[in-house]
Amino acid sequence: MKCHICHNSCDSFIDEKKKIRYYHCDHCEYIFKSPEYYQELSAQKERYNLHENDENDAGYQAYFQRFLDFILPLTGDPKTALDFGCGATSLLCRMLEKEGMACDYFDPIYHPETLIDTKKYDIIVSTEVFEHLHQPREVFESLLERLEEGGYLALQTQFHPNDREAFQKWYYHQDPTHIVFFTVRTFEVLCRIYGCELIGDNGTNMVVIRKQQHSA
Ligand SMILES: [Zn+2]
């Protein structure tokens, strides 16, 4: 199996508990579940509806605040934002609006009609989305296309331990809707492919990427 990120060939291993096959790329450290475990959107929606994302919940706000506290010092003074894969509610969007940005949101399940194809943004945020994507490289590329030159892509997804024994015990891949897994290295490789720059990561679950500015 070829890596869906860097197209090098991958080794595979079996999760002992669930007997699921995973592919692991040595080059970019991407790990993905064998595609027969990928779920349709309708099945994913049932699972997401179980998530209790009450937007008035102080814990949920604090959770997004930790994300903003990490990314905003790295991303200049953005005026326009897109929350890609916001889920049922747009709490993060409203928090970005409080920071002075005009924010749009999109979710393939809950708000599928809200994306304007020609619009470009200073920053795109996407939290707990990439681990669900069948084709993360293609989505990464399409998000870069929606960014202004010099714009920022800020992502949150839990980085895997890049150790097969530790991976088996890792909680994050137990969720059946979590199908693909990254490390900072995976995002560095993506940045190299698309000519952008990884300007910061927090070592556990957040990266900030800057789209290249074309010189005149
Ligand atoms: Zn790879």
- The ranges assigned to domains in the chain are 11-210
CA of 24 to the centre of ligand 1 (A): 8
Residues near ion ligand 1 (Cβ under 5 Å): 3, 5-6, 25, 27-28, 30
Strands 11-14 and 21-24: antiparallel
Q: What is the pLDDT of residue 4?
A: 96
**d(CA 135, ligand 1 centre) in Å:** 13
| Level-2 CATH architecture, domain 11-210 | 3-Layer(aba) Sandwich (3.40)
131-171 pLDDT, tens digit each: 999 999 999 999 999 999 999 999 999 999 999 999 999 99
Output the CA 113–ligand 1 centroid distance in Å. Answer: 32
What is the rounded CA–CA span in Å between residue 6 and residue 9?
Answer: 9
Q: What percent of the chain has pLDDT over 90?
A: 74
Please say whether the beta carbons of 162 and 28 come within 8 A.
Answer: no
Quote the ligand 1 centre to 78 CA distance (angstroms): 32
pLDDT in tens, 87-104: 888 899 999 999 999 999
Quote the pTM value: 0.93
Q: How far, in Å, is the centroid of ligand 1 from the Cα of 169?
A: 22
Give the Å distance between the CA of 7 and the centre of ligand 1.
6
